[in-house]
Structure 1
Amino acid sequence: MIYLDGNSLGPLPKSVDSALSSMVTDQWGAHLIKGWNVDDWMGQPMRVGNMIGKLVGAPEGSITMGDTLSVKVYQALSAGVQMRPDRKVILSDSGNFPSDLYMAQGLIAQLDQGHELRVVEPDDVMDAITDEVAVVMITQVDYRSGAVHDMAAMTAKAQAAGAVMIWDLAHSAGAVPVDLAGCGCEFAVGCTYKYLNGGPGAPAFIYVRPYVIEDIKPALSGWLGHDAPFAFDLDYRPAMGIERMRVGTPPVLQLTALESALAVWDGVEMADVRAASVRLTELFISEVEARCPELTLFSPRDPAHRGSQVSFAHAEGYAVMQALIARDVIGDFRAPNLIRFGFTPLYIDDADVTGAVDVLADILDNRVWDDPKYMAKSRVT
């Protein structure tokens, strides 16, 4: 298999099987409820958050884990709106992942205070940041094209206009260098099942800039975000620091898989990963354009403006991708007509790139995709 879909779901790291087995047998099996203390399950969200922090330029104690990315988006967005009570506009772009926009729509409906979700084209975001905007919520790397927003410049523009900045790092963490502390944004969120290889359903993370955390009143005031959960107070009192962004019981099995997967990054520099990613994506684009002229590049041509994924357009993109998958070249499809490929240098090399293009060229040259079995839509594309 040539796996070019690590931007959607990373593969199983070799260490995870034994780590999960040990957790089930030696911790859960042997210790039962004692594991919360003996094995420090309670401290796992912070411990794993600090591991992710090293990859995204966040200081220790500023990231916690748990729940899904959509929940973390809701937490950050609701906190951001609270921080600017005199403003009513949430600004995002049409390249944002739809779930982020859905969460904004749901929050606005729930608040019922006249807020507006203003969605503009990606290239128009900077000009749309005005003194009306309460929160700017942007995914750094566009999930369709891989186009990259300038995190530092946009954060500076938002803050100069008095807005709160939220970054979604779903397609950034583990793919491109990120400096959360350096850019100064108030919030960032991200998932861990893509480039971080945490497994299907792996928990999300949330970052809050340390200087604002003590002012946040969490909308999802869950038990484990309480300052003293085992005091069992009837009234909520937020925990000190990032732990106030915890909600429910942490998913220990999933966090154990993720913690083991993150150990792969020990000693790995993101600058080296980025350099390798650029080399692989440049090779792929060059080979595809030379051998598959009916495909049209949809991603930015300049690698400085492109993440670690490449998308090409084809009128029958879904069928083309299904034919590729049938030949064990795994990418994915994004409506309406994009075939998308992720490049993950921890386990993809030049031979994988050229091998994938060999298969893609054969499928297009011989119209292999033009078969009813490749036209039938599956639930997940």
Structure 2
Amino acid sequence: MLERARELDANDPLAAYRDRFEVPDGVIYLDGNSLGCLPKATPQRLQQVIRGEWGEGLIRSWNDADWIGLPQRIGGKIAPLIGAAPHEVIAADSVSVNLFKLISAALAMKPGRKGVLSEPGNFPTDLYMIEGLEKQGLAEQRLADRASMEAALDKDVALLLLTHAHYKTGEVFDMAALTRAAHEAGALVLWDLSHSGGALPVDLNACDADFAVGCGYKYLNGGPGAPAYAFVAERHHDAVQQPLSGWMGHARPFEFTDDYAPAPGVDRLLCGTAPILAMAALEVGVDLIAEIGVERLYAKSQALSEFLRECLDDRGVDLDLVSPSDPASRGSQLSYRHPEAYALSQALIARGVIGDFRDPDILRLGFAPAYLRFEDMAEAARHLAEVLETGEWQRDEFRKRSAVT
């Protein structure tokens, strides 16, 4: 399989992009769905911002270097990656904060309805934000499993909030069908694209989506804690009133008036001052992913994951796959169930194969195709087979959980 992997790498049209990222020697990085690798251009860009724009330009750089326009500029670059128009996307805050803004806005747009429908086992922050609004008396959390989701869309549901690609299993929702069902029930829809943006083809406008949020530090390679982004369909621009009425979301912030007036369009989702260094790093990652192209990345991701499955089969590894077996039905990951998944992941990390663990029993392997090779798949399969065959994972140091897993 290793020889075949090298042949595939030799014919990979994206192979040269690996050299545009910092990938440590001896590491097979299968956790780009949690934190993307560092683009090699990012340190140089940050030095330019720090030494030149900040160090020399000082406050003038808000205008001269267009710091003030970074949220809109980066949002406009993310937009075509998720099937949106540039003026419908803004880079700002975190996924959690943007969820709070848009859940609140959706509830205000549906007076008489307080239900926010999601699924059990959704990413925790999505559910926690609903709970927070519920404690304020503004929302009522509703949960339904995937099989009964459409039936749960009753007259009390104001908003359907779902994660497009599930963080644990990678299973992908039919965005178009569920958006249509929600609209037929009189509800709005908010999609969390944290495990989709920059990895999977997404077409928010073709699906008639209302709102979306997404992450900057996974597949967009913006760095740890990178700013997130938010989408509001143009048809809702006048109706959306988000609760965090901060200075930068004002229509005329530099008039310094006492009364708040929301900015036009998606700009009203801004709140505080943008973190310029983090924004600059994010822009480098977004530019690189846009250059490669999501369709090409998705095609390679599917090929990598299927090749890894072949390599595992070839070595007789029999793990319980909890991701959909059809690559078209899953995100850019494979998740396996094992009663000692944590110990397995730690044993692999000790060998330089960095995946991750999701409680209680999921070994999750992510595929960021911009910098992964088919040879990495063959070698990852070898390491996993050896860890299982030797019982290496049973060592005490691998079974003792750390604070961050």
Which residue does the alignment assign to 1:327? 351
1:357 matches 2:381: yes
Which residue does the alignment assign to 1:93? 119
Partner AA of 2:182 in structure 1: A
1:73 matches 2:105: no
For each residue in 1:109-162, what CA deviation from the matched residue of structure 2 results, as whole angstroms up to 9, or x when unmatched? Answer: 12x15x320112233322322222110000000000000001111111101110
Which residue does the alignment assign to 1:222? 246
TM-score w.r.t. the length of structure 2 is 0.92
Which residue does the alignment assign to 1:7? 33
Per the alignment, in what secondary structure is the counterpart of residue 181 of structure 1?
coil
Which residue does the alignment assign to 1:274? 298
Match of residue 287, structure 2, among 260, 263, 270: 263
Segments of 4+ in structure 1 off by > 4 A? Answer: none
Q: Kindly state the Cα deviation for residue 60 of structure 1 after the two structures are TM-superposed.
A: 1.4
The answer on whether the counterparts of 2:227 and 2:278 sit within 8 Å (CA) in structure 1 is yes
Which residue does the alignment assign to 1:308? 332
Q: Kindly state the Cα deviation for residue 369 of structure 1 after the two structures are TM-superposed.
A: 0.5
Match of residue 239, structure 1, among 243, 247, 263: 263
Distance 1:298 1:22 in 2: 45
Q: Kindly state the Cα deviation for residue 107 of structure 1 after the two structures are TM-superposed.
A: 1.1
Q: Kindly state the Cα deviation for residue 333 of structure 1 after the two structures are TM-superposed.
A: 0.1
Q: State the identity %.
A: 45
Q: Kindly state the Cα deviation for residue 86 of structure 1 after the two structures are TM-superposed.
A: 1.2
1:25 matches 2:59: no
Which residue does the alignment assign to 1:50? 76
Which residue does the alignment assign to 2:17? none
Distance 1:186 1:71 in 2: 17
Distance 1:93 1:277 in 2: 26
Distance 2:104 2:125 in 1: 15
Per the alignment, in what secondary structure is the counterpart of residue 43 of structure 1?
helix
Distance 1:8 1:46 in 2: 25
Which residue does the alignment assign to 1:253? 277
Q: Kindly state the Cα deviation for residue 171 of structure 1 after the two structures are TM-superposed.
A: 0.2
Distance 2:114 2:316 in 1: 48
Distance 1:77 1:291 in 2: 47
Which residue does the alignment assign to 2:21? none
Distance 1:84 1:255 in 2: 33
The answer on whether the counterparts of 2:165 and 2:171 sit within 8 Å (CA) in structure 1 is yes
Distance 1:247 1:123 in 2: 38
Q: Kindly state the Cα deviation for residue 181 of structure 1 after the two structures are TM-superposed.
A: 1.2
Distance 1:123 1:175 in 2: 26
Per the alignment, in what secondary structure is the counterpart of residue 87 of structure 2?
coil
Q: Kindly state the Cα deviation for residue 184 of structure 1 after the two structures are TM-superposed.
A: 1.1
For each residue in 1:326-379, what CA deviation from the matched residue of structure 2 results, as whole angstroms up to 9, or x when unmatched? Answer: 111000000000000111111112111111111111100000011110111111
Distance 2:300 2:126 in 1: 30
Which ranges in structure 2 are unaligned for 5 or more consecutive residues?
A: 1-26
The answer on whether the counterparts of 1:294 and 1:314 sit within 8 Å (CA) in structure 2 is no
Distance 1:322 1:276 in 2: 27
Per the alignment, in what secondary structure is the counterpart of residue 207 of structure 1?
strand
Per the alignment, in what secondary structure is the counterpart of residue 36 of structure 2?
coil
For each residue in 1:46-92, what CA deviation from the matched residue of structure 2 results, as whole angstroms up to 9, or x when unmatched? Answer: 00001111111110111111211100000110011111111121100
Distance 1:88 1:28 in 2: 46
1:199 matches 2:223: yes
Per the alignment, in what secondary structure is the counterpart of residue 59 of structure 2?
helix
Q: Kindly state the Cα deviation for residue 317 of structure 1 after the two structures are TM-superposed.
A: 0.5
1:208 matches 2:232: yes
Partner AA of 2:101 in structure 1: Q
Distance 2:146 2:389 in 1: 34
Which residue does the alignment assign to 2:11? none
What aligned pairs does 1:122-133 form with structure 2 within 5 A after superposition? 122-133=146-157
- State the superposition RMSD in angstroms: 1.1
Partner AA of 2:61 in structure 1: G
The answer on whether the counterparts of 2:317 and 2:385 sit within 8 Å (CA) in structure 1 is no
Distance 2:293 2:151 in 1: 34
Distance 1:269 1:19 in 2: 22
May I ask how many residue pairs the two structures share in their alignment?
Answer: 379
1:342 matches 2:366: yes
Of the structure 1 ranges 76-85 and 121-130, higher mean CA displacement relative to structure 2 is found in 121-130
For each residue in 1:157-214, what CA deviation from the matched residue of structure 2 results, as whole angstroms up to 9, or x when unmatched? Answer: 1011100000000000011000011111110001110000000010010100011111
1:299 matches 2:356: no
Distance 1:193 1:67 in 2: 12
1:103 matches 2:138: no
